[in-house]
């Protein structure tokens, strides 16, 4: 593989494991450029990494002898990927706050390609809310993290904080390098989450959609080179940083946002759980519990996907179907009635599938009648499978 990786070694006892990671990267055919922080060099000699990588190790910003290239910029440009292993709380914190005060943090700041952190630290440090917030921020900005493992730590504590196994780290990096960019130049319009249909200033009708499925699709599409417009109902997730994001509440607001973006879209995926009905009258004041039963009249919401099916030109239309019975028949009917190219049917009664959970189990049906069943898997993994099916469908037309 004719690719260069910048391997950043930061100062923790796991720095010695960086040597094994360096060896495995070289063995995989990658060119490796190593940068060590001062603290890392206190744990392991730079000579180890010079020998394993077959090149000079970057240590200081203003190292002598200087070459005419500006090292932090030229290495960043040359690298297809960055791997920081082990990554201390310090380098994670600096990167998340935009601090560039040594060779490694400056080079990370100039990186154009993917950056992977493999944290290793004491369990209490790892669980510290500040560290976790920094990790969450970096993740939302598209940085990769390889979770540390649990076990006996050098400090004598027991718990999560031990550097992941070197082979696991290298396998992850190779997967990132091989990531397909098969949606470059394509615009996705993805909907996610529930809608809220207000009854009065404090009450609404909604459903259990967490947005996880739609957000996973948005992440996958972005990683595969697509532009993503994400229209989302109220959920507790952070939208992917690089997505164009529109937040909505009601089905009518979602309809407006979707119709506005639809003409520019190449691929539309409607993973949102849109309320089919809304209270006909919204009380301006909180409804009091005086009197007997409360009778609410519901009015039908527009079928957004059905409208898109009628307007469709170049767009490939993918719907979801949340079914509690007759999965195949109901999903196939929706595919036909809404003029879709593909429908992803989830049996919401199956354990671990559908609303709220991290996993999903689906059946994909195309307009040509092809059927593919996918076993229960993480929604993020499934998102890539659905995108693969879209590629297959596009090729066949
Ligand atoms: O958000 P999560 O917690 O991760 O859960 C994921 C999910 C279960 C919500 C998701 O996988 C899913 O199935 N989404 C569609 C849920 C749904 O509303 O299904 P439906 O069968 O009622 O609607 C069929 C399709 O028409 C959907 O693509 C829906 O977005 C769309 N629709 C529905 C009603 C409406 N008024 N307008 C629409 O556009």
Q: What is the tens place of the pLDDT at every residue in 220-229? A: 999 899 999 9
Strand partners, 35: 8, 58
> At which residue do the structure tokens 């201390």 appear?
88
- What residue segments make up the domains of the chain, in order of their start? 4-177, 187-396
Which has the minimum average pLDDT: 73-82, 310-319, 340-349? 73-82
Q: What are the b/e assignments for 10-33, b being 16+ CB within 10 Å?
A: bbbebbebbbbbbbbbbebebbbb
Domain pair 4-177 / 187-396, same fold: yes
Q: Which of 73, 155, 296, 391 is catalytic?
A: 155
Backbone Cα Rg of the chain: 25
For the whole prediction, is pTM greater than 0.85? no
Q: Is the CB of 215 under 6 A from ligand 1?
A: no
Q: Is the CB of 356 under 6 A from ligand 1?
A: yes
Which has the minimum average pLDDT: 2-6, 203-207, 245-249? 2-6
Atom of ligand 1 nearest to the CA of 210: 3
> CB–CB of 199/285 below 8 Å?
no
What's the CATH code, domain 4-177? 3.40.50.1950
Q: Is the CB of 213 under 6 A from ligand 1?
A: yes
> At which residue do the structure tokens 């967490």 appear?
210
Q: Is the CB of 277 under 6 A from ligand 1?
A: no
Identify whether 22 is a catalytic site residue: no
Higher pLDDT, 119 or 73: 119
* Residues comprising the chain, all counted: 397
pLDDT above 70: percentage of residues in the chain? 97
By C-alpha distance, which of 270, 241, 216, 223 is closest to 261? 270
CATH class of 187-396: alpha beta
Half-sphere exposure of 74 (CA within 13 A, CB side): 8
pLDDT score for 60: 85
Atom of ligand 1 nearest to the CA of 330: 21
Closest CA to ligand 1's atom 14: 271
Average pLDDT over residues 261-290: 96
pLDDT tops 60 at residue 59: yes
């Amino acid at each position: 593989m004719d690719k260069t990786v910048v391997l950043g070694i930061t100062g923790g006892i796991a720095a010695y494991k960086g040597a094994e990671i360096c060896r495995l990267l070289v063995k995989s055919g990658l060119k490796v450029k190593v940068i060590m922080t001062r603290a890392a060099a206190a744990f392991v000699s730079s000579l180890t990494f010079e020998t394993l990588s077959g090149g000079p190790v970057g240590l200081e910003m203003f190292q002598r002898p200087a070459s005419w290239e500006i090292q932090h910029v030229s290495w960043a440009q040359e690298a297809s990927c960055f791997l920081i292993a082990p990554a201390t709380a310090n380098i994670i914190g600096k990167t998340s706050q935009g601090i560039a005060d040594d060779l490694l943090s400056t080079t990370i700041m100039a990186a154009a390609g993917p950056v992977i952190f493999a944290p290793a630290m004491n369990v209490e440090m790892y669980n510290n809310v500040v560290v976790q917030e920094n990790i969450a921020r970096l993740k939302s900005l598209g940085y990769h993290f390889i979770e540390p493992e649990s076990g006996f730590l050098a400090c004598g504590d027991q718990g999560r904080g031990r550097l992941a196994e070197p082979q696991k780290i290298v396998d992850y990096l190779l997967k990132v390098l091989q990531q397909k960019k098969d949606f470059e130049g394509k615009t996705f319009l993805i909907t996610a989450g529930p809608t809220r249909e207000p009854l009065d200033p404090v009450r609404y009708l909604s459903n259990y959609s967490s947005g996880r499925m739609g957000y996973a699709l948005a992440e996958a599409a972005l990683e595969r080179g697509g532009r993503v417009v994400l229209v989302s109902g109220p959920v507790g997730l952070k939208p992917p940083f690089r997505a164009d994001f529109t937040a909505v509440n009601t089905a009518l607001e979602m309809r407006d946002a979707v119709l506005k973006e639809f003409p520019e879209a190449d691929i539309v995926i409607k993973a949102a759980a849109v309320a089919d009905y809304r209270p006909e009258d919204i009380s301006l004041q909180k409804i009091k519990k005086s009197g007997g039963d409360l009778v609410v009249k519901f009015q039908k919401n527009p079928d957004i996907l059905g409208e898109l099916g009628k307007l469709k030109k170049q767009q490939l239309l993918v719907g979801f179907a949340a079914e509690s019975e007759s999965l195949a028949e109901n999903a196939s009917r929706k595919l036909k009635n809404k003029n879709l190219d593909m429908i992803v049917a989830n049996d919401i009664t199956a354990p671990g599938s559908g609303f709220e959970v991290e996993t999903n189990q689906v059946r994909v049906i195309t307009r040509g009648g092809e059927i593919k069943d996918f076993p229960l898997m993480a929604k993020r993994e499934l998102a890539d499978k659905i995108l693969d099916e879209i590629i297959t469908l596009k090729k066949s037309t």
